[in-house]
Structure 1
Amino acid sequence: MSFGGPQWPQQGQGQAQGQGQQPYGQQPFGQPQQPGQWQQSQPYGQQQWPSQQPDPFPGAQAPQGGGPTPDWSALAEASAARSQRKRWLLIGGGVVGALVVGAVVATAIVATNKSNDEAKNGGPTATGPAAPTDSATPAPTFSSVAPLPPPNPRDYISDAKKDKAPLSAEGLFPGRKLTMNGRAYAKGATASTTNCAAVTQGGLGSVLNANGCTRVLRATYVKDGVAVTVGVAVFPTDEQALKAKKQATGGIAPLTGAGVGDFCHATVCLRRTNSIGRYVYLTQAGFLNGKKVTTGDQAVFKASDDLGTFAFNQIYARGRSQAAAAAGAPGQ
């Protein structure tokens, strides 16, 4: 395949069949008419291009002295030059195309390698705090099981099966003095007995015995001519203690001794009864001189309030200490 220009005729072919069918004569080659042209053995024939045919080599100079016969050497050189330019254009285009393809492939490889690197390295770092890795310090874990609530102190003072702490008059009413709400009281005698009815007045003894009273502990405190005996009756359960409280009548017998004389005999005194857990606490307050207590005697009422609050606090402290010990014990 040739690029531009006529093809050279081959030897041995037949004569041209007429003007316009074969543009080249089949005569033997002759000598060139101009120096520097192709050296051939025989000149081309003197065939003329038909006037109606377009010039296949526009701009080419006609040979000198030969009439309209084209300068075949010049045409051949021009055709060869054009062919060479086309070859270089094709070669250059192929090289450029190969470079473009290579660049695309290289870009794809780089992108793929980058993607692989990101995949191996865990991808780009996300915004926000980094997730913990195996090499990082493990985060603390917490059990999904809610811890048991701490023991309730009241549970330990409501049932004799749990209320196992030592119980005595000196343990329940410690020291020689008592200060409540800024008021100081001196302690007199203390006592403890399992004969509950023996230390009561009125119908209180029968009520205590009927509800299962097991012990009564007493102590007396004095301040400014006012004496108060506080007693604590103990029952097996809180239900029994509550029932005794509701049925209570009469009062706890005054406790004398340790510098405290007789009081609340054949006179009017202030009696109070309350309960917490399996304990019923009672007070008997009056004047040491035997004076009757009236609603206007605020010193007697305050003394009764102070000693009743003190008894309540002491009983609750028993439950709190036992609950704290149970919470700190192994297996609790």
Structure 2
Amino acid sequence: MSFGGPQWPQEPQQQGQGQGYGGPQGYGQRPGGHGDQGQGYGQGAGGHGHPGPRGGYGYPGPYSGPQDGGAPAPFPGTPAPGPLGSGGPTPDWSALADASASRARRKRLLMIGGGVLAALVVGAVVATAVVATGKKDETAGSGGGIPTVSASPTEAPTPEPTFSSVAPPPPPNPKDYISDPKKDKAPLTAEGLFPGKKLTMSGRPYKKGATSATTNCAAVTQGGLGTVLKGNGCQKVLRATYVRDGVAVTVGVAVFPSEAAALKAKDQATGGIAPLAGAGVGDFCRATVCLRRSNAIGRYAYFTQAGFTNGKKVTTADQGVFRSSDDLGTFAFNQIYARGKSQASAAAGAPGQ
């Protein structure tokens, strides 16, 4: 398809050979768009042509030239040529040049318009693709991404803190130090285990009497306890007596070579630890009924004997005696555990631990 405007002279079509392109009315196109249906504004060298006889774009109908066999005039306002082969007048070259320039301008405008339209289509496709992905600009949404820290030219960047992937060893267990004689090396004396002149348990004060320590474990026992201690390898017995409200309690701590030996002595215990008089405390628990108890922790077994200082028999109704026995047993347990704790703390702070 050619653009509108005058065409170069062609041989005339014979009647019945179809529609003629390039007649005086040219390509039917009104300025800014196609011709309306039923009218064609053929743009030629001499201005606007007459309405075309057919609908559509204003093409002329089937050619019906002069009946005398002569060719039609190629442009309006020019005489019709003679019979074919007889020559004709010279074409209007100025009109042809104007028409060619007009076609070039329209082609250029169409190309520019087509480029703009293509750009708009591509932009719409890209926008549609961005919306279809359902993603946001994460950099803009997060305030410009992860901030970077730049060091001053005169300052070195601050090093990041480092952490060891190796977990530190657990702190030593105090019970390990009062269960193993190879670790339980701290000095052990009666005054060290039962310090001071008095003690208070749960708000109840007790005055301390005499203390003692011996390696002859059986010598400081009553009944069958001496045999039990000796049979399980007892190494030492430390004793102390405490008095409160007419009730005296002797607590004895026996040391063994292992935790298993101490537990066995506790389970086999019979009789009791011998009461320790002196330092203001008279004899007690002699030829009368007293309260005896036993327990163990680590390689230590501890025993208590509690009774009235006036020799009265202890019965189940004497709750003061039971309470004093509980207090001194708890005190012995705490002192043995504190021994293990102090040794464990010292080991934790030592180099290489």
Report the TM-score when normalising by structure 1. Answer: 0.70
Q: Does the CA contact (< 8 Å) of 1:180 and 1:306 recur in 2?
A: yes
Q: Does the CA contact (< 8 Å) of 2:71 and 2:82 recur in 1?
A: no
Looking at structure 1, the residues matched to 71 and 177 of structure 2 have their Cα atoms a distance apart, in angstroms, of: 128
> Cα deviation per residue 1:242-289 (whole Å; 9 max; x = unaligned)?
111111111111111111111111111111111111001101111111
Is structure 2 residue 139 aligned with structure 1 residue 125?
yes
Looking at structure 1, the residues matched to 263 and 278 of structure 2 have their Cα atoms a distance apart, in angstroms, of: 31
Looking at structure 1, the residues matched to 140 and 299 of structure 2 have their Cα atoms a distance apart, in angstroms, of: 65
Q: Does the CA contact (< 8 Å) of 1:132 and 1:138 recur in 2?
A: no
Question: Following TM superposition, by how much is the alpha carbon of 1:93 offset from its aligned partner in structure 2, in angstroms?
Answer: 5.4
Q: Does the CA contact (< 8 Å) of 1:60 and 1:74 recur in 2?
A: no
Looking at structure 2, the residues matched to 227 and 298 of structure 1 have their Cα atoms a distance apart, in angstroms, of: 14
Looking at structure 2, the residues matched to 305 and 224 of structure 1 have their Cα atoms a distance apart, in angstroms, of: 15
Question: Following TM superposition, by how much is the alpha carbon of 1:73 offset from its aligned partner in structure 2, in angstroms?
Answer: 5.7
Question: Following TM superposition, by how much is the alpha carbon of 1:146 offset from its aligned partner in structure 2, in angstroms?
Answer: 3.6
Looking at structure 2, the residues matched to 84 and 275 of structure 1 have their Cα atoms a distance apart, in angstroms, of: 121
Is structure 2 residue 328 aligned with structure 1 residue 301?
no
**CA separation of 1:288/1:67 partners in 2, compared to 1, >3 Å: closer, same or farther?**
closer
**CA separation of 1:160/1:127 partners in 2, compared to 1, >3 Å: closer, same or farther?**
farther
Looking at structure 2, the residues matched to 53 and 251 of structure 1 have their Cα atoms a distance apart, in angstroms, of: 157
Looking at structure 2, the residues matched to 220 and 202 of structure 1 have their Cα atoms a distance apart, in angstroms, of: 19
Give the alignment of 1:53-68 within 5 angstroms: 53-62=70-79
- Alignment match, 1:177: 198
- Alignment match, 1:315: 336
Structure 1 counterpart of 2:188, from 155, 167, 176: 167
Q: Does the CA contact (< 8 Å) of 1:268 and 1:292 recur in 2?
A: yes
Question: Following TM superposition, by how much is the alpha carbon of 1:144 offset from its aligned partner in structure 2, in angstroms?
Answer: 4.1
- Alignment match, 1:242: 263
Structure 1 counterpart of 2:99, from 82, 89, 92: 82
Question: Following TM superposition, by how much is the alpha carbon of 1:56 offset from its aligned partner in structure 2, in angstroms?
Answer: 4.4
Question: Following TM superposition, by how much is the alpha carbon of 1:86 offset from its aligned partner in structure 2, in angstroms?
Answer: 3.2
Q: Does the CA contact (< 8 Å) of 2:304 and 2:325 recur in 1?
A: yes
> Cα deviation per residue 1:40-67 (whole Å; 9 max; x = unaligned)?
xxxxxxxxx984355242322439xx99
Is structure 2 residue 271 aligned with structure 1 residue 254?
no
- Structure of higher CA gyration radius: 1
Looking at structure 2, the residues matched to 128 and 83 of structure 1 have their Cα atoms a distance apart, in angstroms, of: 60
Higher relative contact order (CA 8 A, sep 6+): 1
- Alignment match, 2:21: none
Question: Following TM superposition, by how much is the alpha carbon of 1:157 offset from its aligned partner in structure 2, in angstroms?
Answer: 0.7
Listed as ranges, the gaps of 5+ residues in structure 2 are: 1-5, 11-65, 124-136, 151-156
Give the alignment of 1:33-182 within 5 angstroms: 51-62=68-79, 72=89, 75-89=92-106, 92=108, 96=112, 100=115, 125=139, 127=141, 131=146, 140-182=161-203
CA RMSD of superposed structures (Å): 3.6
Report the TM-score when normalising by structure 2. Answer: 0.66
Is structure 2 residue 347 aligned with structure 1 residue 326?
yes
Question: Following TM superposition, by how much is the alpha carbon of 1:170 offset from its aligned partner in structure 2, in angstroms?
Answer: 0.9
> Cα deviation per residue 1:221-249 (whole Å; 9 max; x = unaligned)?
00111111100000111011011111111
Question: Following TM superposition, by how much is the alpha carbon of 1:202 offset from its aligned partner in structure 2, in angstroms?
Answer: 1.2
**CA separation of 1:128/1:285 partners in 2, compared to 1, >3 Å: closer, same or farther?**
farther
Question: Following TM superposition, by how much is the alpha carbon of 1:312 offset from its aligned partner in structure 2, in angstroms?
Answer: 0.5
Looking at structure 1, the residues matched to 347 and 141 of structure 2 have their Cα atoms a distance apart, in angstroms, of: 50
Looking at structure 1, the residues matched to 164 and 73 of structure 2 have their Cα atoms a distance apart, in angstroms, of: 98
Looking at structure 2, the residues matched to 87 and 273 of structure 1 have their Cα atoms a distance apart, in angstroms, of: 122
Question: Following TM superposition, by how much is the alpha carbon of 1:75 offset from its aligned partner in structure 2, in angstroms?
Answer: 3.0
**CA separation of 1:131/1:287 partners in 2, compared to 1, >3 Å: closer, same or farther?**
same
Q: Does the CA contact (< 8 Å) of 1:232 and 1:280 recur in 2?
A: yes
> Cα deviation per residue 1:56-88 (whole Å; 9 max; x = unaligned)?
42322439xx99999946733322322333345
Q: Does the CA contact (< 8 Å) of 2:210 and 2:279 recur in 1?
A: yes
Looking at structure 1, the residues matched to 231 and 283 of structure 2 have their Cα atoms a distance apart, in angstroms, of: 29
Is structure 2 residue 227 aligned with structure 1 residue 206?
yes
Give the alignment of 1:272-291 within 5 angstroms: 272-291=293-312
Letter in 1 for 2:69: Q
The aligned length equals 269
- Alignment match, 2:253: 232
Listed as ranges, the gaps of 5+ residues in structure 1 are: 8-48, 109-122
> Cα deviation per residue 1:278-321 (whole Å; 9 max; x = unaligned)?
00110111111111111111111111111001000111111122
Letter in 2 for 1:197: A
Looking at structure 2, the residues matched to 80 and 128 of structure 1 have their Cα atoms a distance apart, in angstroms, of: 63
Q: Does the CA contact (< 8 Å) of 2:73 and 2:79 recur in 1?
A: no
